[in-house]
Amino acid sequence: MGSIVRFENVGLRYGSDGGSDGETLSDLNFALAPGAFYFLTGASGAGKTSLLRLLYLAQRPTRGVIQLFDEDVVTVPRERLPGFRRRIGVVFQDFRLIPYLSVYDNVALPLRVAGVEERDLDAPVREMLAWVGLASRSDALPATLSGGEQQRVAIARAVIGRPEILVADEPTGNVDPEMAGRLLHLFDALNRLGTTIVVATHDIHLLSRVSNAQTLRLEAGRLSDPTGALRYPPRTGA
């Protein structure tokens, strides 16, 4: 497989305004390699969150082709989308923890959905909670946690199933620099196991903290890639 993600002439428009001038994202052409690490950067309002929503299939584009795992996910029947989503881990900017589940059960949820037996859950969940520094809060409910603690639960939940793609929207925005470094180390370790990582951030200081990471930069909804390393010519033939 040459690329795990491929965008061809992708545009996204919210609402009904016609023409490319009303698009939030315009003319995106890029491919992501399996097992690579990418930072997605850009000013506030550049379209980072919208691009991530396309990646984890929460939004369909207005135009263009998006391929994940060598399949066109724009035209795929909706009943097949959950199968694709189970292969993608997501760290949301607003956490999206289930409020009535404990920290332990929030983190265990992806494994339970995947059919892991209860007897096989405890070790990986406890290990993941220890890694993000929440071993002592396993029985707590999300409402009793700080914003940084909720962020760490969201990250643990996203990575515990070792997804093929991990998409993270400002994952270090609510933690201190020491924990930010620890979480980046976790992402880097997951990447070394083969997961493709896409981290959206406005913190340029993070970019040098992961070896061999590549950078995609959005400017007003368009991909700016002065090196040309991530671009490719759109296909013109049959």
The per-residue pLDDT string of the chain (238 residues; one tens digit each, 9 = 90 and over) reads: 589 999 999 999 987 654 456 899 999 999 999 999 999 999 888 999 999 999 999 999 999 999 999 999 999 999 999 899 999 999 998 899 999 999 999 999 999 988 999 999 999 999 999 988 999 999 999 999 998 899 899 999 999 999 999 999 998 887 888 888 888 888 998 899 999 999 999 887 788 888 889 999 999 999 986 444 444 443 434 3
For 228-231, the CB contacts below 8 A with 24+ separation are 230/30, 230/31, 230/32, 231/29, 231/30
The verdict on residue 233 lying in a domain is no
Domain holding 57, by residue range, is 5-12+24-224
Nearest in space to 37 (alpha carbons), one of 193, 178, 205, 170: 193
How many helices and strands, by DSSP H and E, does the chain display? 6, 10
The verdict on residue 237 lying in a domain is no
The verdict on residue 151 lying in a domain is yes
- What backbone torsions phi and psi does residue 37 show, to the nearest 5 degrees? -120, 130
The verdict on residue 101 lying in a domain is yes
CATH number at residue 156: 3.40.50.300
The verdict on residue 18 lying in a domain is no
Q: At what angle do helices 147-159 and 103-113 cross, to 10 degrees?
A: 20
Total domains in the chain come to 1
The verdict on residue 95 lying in a domain is yes
3-state helix, strand, coil in the chain (%, to 5): 35, 20, 45
The verdict on residue 99 lying in a domain is yes
